[in-house]
Amino acid sequence: MKYSMTQSMIKRRTFLGGCIASAGASLLPLNAQASAKNNKEIWLSAQGRDAEHFALSWVQNDQQQSASVKSGFRGHGAAQHPLIKTQAVMFSRSPGTEGIVVDLSRGEIVQRFYSATNHHMHGHGCFSADGTILFTTESDYQTGAGKIVMRETRQYQTIGEWSSFGIGPHDIQLMPDQKTLVVANGGLRTRPQSGAQVLNLDSMKSSLTYIDSTSGELIGQYHVAEAKASIRHLDVAADGTVALATQVQRQGMSDQHTVTLAAVHHPGSAGLMMLEAPQTLTERFNDYMGSVAINEKERLAGFSSPRGDLVGFWDIDSGQLAGYHAFHDVCGLSVSLDQQYFILSNSAGEIRRISALSLQENRQLRQQFDGMHWDNHLFSVALS
């Protein structure tokens, strides 16, 4: 069942005024080369429930068929090469140690890369504007220090690393100035041997951090008020506004007060603007925002909560709640390239489109991919 603020709380601005081996050719029905020629929109995501099926998979927005390349590890985030549009990188889920470069037009892994000894990845990365460097969020798990690791993009060999100025750097993106990196330092220390177990609940400290991509220098750093809220995921608008999603480590809290989970940082602002909602709705998000995506046209940010089976939408300028949509185990979240829709995916292989204007679902465009289990993040890309 879908819920919207038009049903229960407010109207949407009064209706605005009035991402080992290829899975094989049989799994490539999209004809991705034709897709590249026609500039079709592709939605890609990590997917799979077990090691035998973990993959980077993708679908074409106007087809009911899918393509996959098995990865051999559970993936998390992905990034498209800014110049070689048919290539995408998928990063292993934290605390993983490898990534793959996939040619989407051939359905093949063209490169595999690994973390250095005593390092592990946190599931995200981004390219430099010219595509010559891949930045990944990693940790030295012996010291716990967060790292931004740089790799050249011919053989994907490490060429350097910088401090992330925090612990547990998770998401990372390049800002619109094409020079500054914005990093979500989640504050959580983990080790590959103990999986996702947090080792520093008492001392965790999360931060939104800006770093000069050419020098590694710290430009700015901001914190949320709740010490046990881990900043995990980001999206960036063309004007430099950053939307950030947090996950509360409630087992480390001393009380049970409700915590606001979404925030925005505007360029030049001295602090973060928290995106509030009625307490009953905030509680339904169950301390967990999984993905965030900004719709440029409507100036809205969507935040998904698989634990709450909800996606919430906020105006990134005013901070006002605009609506929400109920969808079982939803986590993947993106925006269509034409900015008309928020695209939602879940672990049952479903994809839905929510109008960015009305925040109502176009039910006629629902898609179901049997056997697919979409993971945390969904990415909208064009192959040319």
Delineate the domains of the chain, giving CATH numbers in brackets.
Answer: 19-112 (no CATH), 113-382 (2.130.10.10)
Q: Are 277 and 204 in contact (CB under 8 A)?
A: no
Cis (ω within 30 of 0) for the bond into 192?
A: no
Closest to 233 in 3D by CA, of 116, 361, 379, 127: 379
**What pLDDT, in 10s, does the model give residues 237-287?**
999 999 999 999 999 998 999 999 999 999 999 999 999 999 999 999 999
What pLDDT does residue 39 have? 64
Q: Low-confidence residues of the chain, pLDDT below 50? A: 1-38
DSSP letters spanning 197-262: --S-TTT---EEEEEETTT--EEEEE--S-TTEEEEEEEE-TTS-EEEEEEE-GGG-SS------E
Phi, psi of 278 (to 5 degrees): -55, 145
pTM, full prediction: 0.90
Closest to 77 in 3D by CA, of 153, 138, 30, 31: 138
Rg of the chain over CA atoms, in angstroms? 19
What pLDDT does residue 28 have? 39
Beta carbons within 10 angstroms of residue 279's beta carbon: 11
**From CA 124, how far away is CA 122, in angstroms rounded?**
6
What pLDDT does residue 34 have? 38
Question: Which tokens belong to 366?
Answer: 């629902």
**From CA 263, how far away is CA 332, in angstroms rounded?**
19
**What pLDDT, in 10s, does the model give residues 90-121?**
999 999 999 999 999 999 999 999 999 999 99
Q: Are 332 and 326 in contact (CB under 8 A)?
A: no
What pLDDT does residue 26 have? 29
Question: Which tokens belong to 140?
Answer: 């030295």
What average pLDDT does the structure give for the chain?
90
Closest to 80 in 3D by CA, of 304, 384, 292: 384
Closest to 336 in 3D by CA, of 293, 375, 376: 293
Beta carbons within 10 angstroms of residue 328's beta carbon: 12
What pLDDT does residue 27 have? 36
Q: Are 141 and 147 in contact (CB under 8 A)?
A: no
**From CA 195, how far away is CA 191, in angstroms rounded?**
6
**From CA 248, how far away is CA 260, in angstroms rounded?**
9
Q: Which residues, listed in sequence order, are joined to residue 164 by a DSSP beta bridge? A: none
CA distances from 11 to 4, 76, 189, 343 (A): 9, 34, 42, 21
**Buried b / exposed e along 187-214 (16+ C-beta atoms within 10 A):** bbbbbbeeeeebbbeeebbbbbbbbebe
